Structure 1
Amino acid sequence: MKVDLERLAEGYSHRQPSKALLARAARAISELQLGPASLVVDVGGGPGAHAAAFRASGARVSVVDPSPGMWERAGTSGAWVTGGRGESLPLRDDVADLVWFHLSLHHMKWIDAVTEAVRVCRPGGEVRIWTMGAAHFERSLMAQWFPS
Structure 2
Amino acid sequence: MPAVSRAHSFNAAAAQYAANRPSYPPALLDAIEEISGRPLAGARVADIGAGTGIATALLHERGADVIAVEPGEGMAVHFRRTLPHLPIVRGDGNALPLADDSRDLITYAQSWHWTDTGRSVPEALRVLRPGGALALWWNTTAYDVPWIAAQAERITAHCGTGSVPRRQPDDSLAARLAGLSDLPVTRRHVCWSRAVSLDTHLANITSHSAFLVLGEAGTRAFLAEERGRLGETFPDGTVEETYLVDLLVAAAP
Q: TM-score, normalised by structure 1?
A: 0.79
Structure 2 CA distance for partners of 1:106 and 1:19, relative to 1, 3 Å: closer
> Which of the numbers 25, 28, 35 marks the counterpart of 2:32?
28
Structure 2 residue 103 is matched with structure 1 residue 96: yes
Structure 2 residue 73 is matched with structure 1 residue 74: no
Distance in 2 between residues matched to 1:8 and 1:104, nearest whole Å: 16
Give the C-alpha shift of residue 127 in structure 1: 0.5
Give the C-alpha shift of residue 125 in structure 1: 0.9
Runs of at least 5 residues in structure 1 that lack an aligned partner in the other structure: 133-137
> Which of the numbers 108, 132, 135 marks the counterpart of 1:128?
135
Superposition pairs of residues 35-114 of structure 1, within 5 angstroms:
35-36=41-42, 38-75=43-80, 76-77=82-83, 78-114=85-121
Runs of at least 5 residues in structure 2 that lack an aligned partner in the other structure: 141-160, 165-204, 215-253
RMSD (CA atoms): 2.5
Residue matched to 2:192: none
Contact residue 35 and residue 58 of structure 1 kept, 8 A: yes
Distance in 2 between residues matched to 1:70 and 1:41, nearest whole Å: 16
Structure 2 CA distance for partners of 1:49 and 1:25, relative to 1, 3 Å: farther
Q: TM-score, normalised by structure 2?
A: 0.49
Contact residue 97 and residue 121 of structure 1 kept, 8 A: yes
- State the number of aligned residues: 141
Give the C-alpha shift of residue 18 in structure 1: 3.1
Q: What percent of counterpart residues are identical? A: 29
